[in-house]
Amino acid sequence: MSGHPEAEIYHRQGMGKSAGMGQRPALVMVDFVVGFADPAHFGGGNIAPAIAQTVKLLAFARAHRWPVAHTRVVYAEDGSDAGVFTLKAPSLLKLTEHSPLSQIVPELTPVAGEHIVRKQGASGFFDTNLASWLRYQGADTLVVTGCTTSGCVRATVVDSLQHNFRTIVATDCVGDRAIGPHEANLFDMGQKYADLMTRAEIEAAAG
């Protein structure tokens, strides 16, 4: 994202450095569920291509025995665990445990040993055991994919950094319902919170 017209101000202020990849990467896939793959519900934009690229990255992660986690937004059937997030976006309440919309897309179906994180907030870390599970797995680096780039991906990336994980956003494996927010948030995350790498670059660095 170095070609961004305002990148120079960040460069002058000493931002945009690389944290690099550590010794033990883990893959976290944020909210790649049926509802976010469907433009009639929560999807659109470039989410479908991001899922297609993540299929390849997941295969790589499994082959290299990385810890793998999937996140889902899951609310109680009666909405009893709803919060202010659902006042801003009431349609999220459709994402209940057994709703077809809240199921992980078939292309990324979890296998034994992969952690499924149920959350009611934006970040995969907020009020979940994701951080402790990753520490138990020995992870020092998080490779983040998912949707939406400007929402739950960004929230997860910021919290990843704050838990002192080296954080990499797989740029072609994240998507948003609108391209403007996608591009703006990739740029900003790259300056302050994460390294930006394509799937191919991640696989080359980790291979």
* Beta-carbon contacts of residue 101 (< 8 Å; ≥ 6 apart): 33, 34, 35, 38, 41, 42, 94, 95
From CA 165, how far away is CA 195, in angstroms rounded? 12
Residue 13, phi then psi, degrees to nearest 5: -90, 5
Listed in sequence order, the residues at least 6 apart from 179 whose beta carbon sits closer than 8 Å to its beta carbon are 45, 46
Please pick, among 26, 37, 57, 152, the residue that the annotation labels catalytic.
Answer: 152
Task: Look at residues 31, 15, 13 and name the one whose alpha carbon lies nearest to residue 72.
Answer: 31
Taken as a whole, the chain contains a residue count of 207
Tell me whether residue 152 is one of the annotated catalytic residues: yes
Q: Is 124 helix (H, G, I), strand (E, B) or coil?
A: coil
Residue 103 host element (H or E): none
What is the identity of the amino acid at 159? Answer: D
Find residue 26's DSSP bridge partners.
142
Q: Which residues are tagged catalytic? A: 152
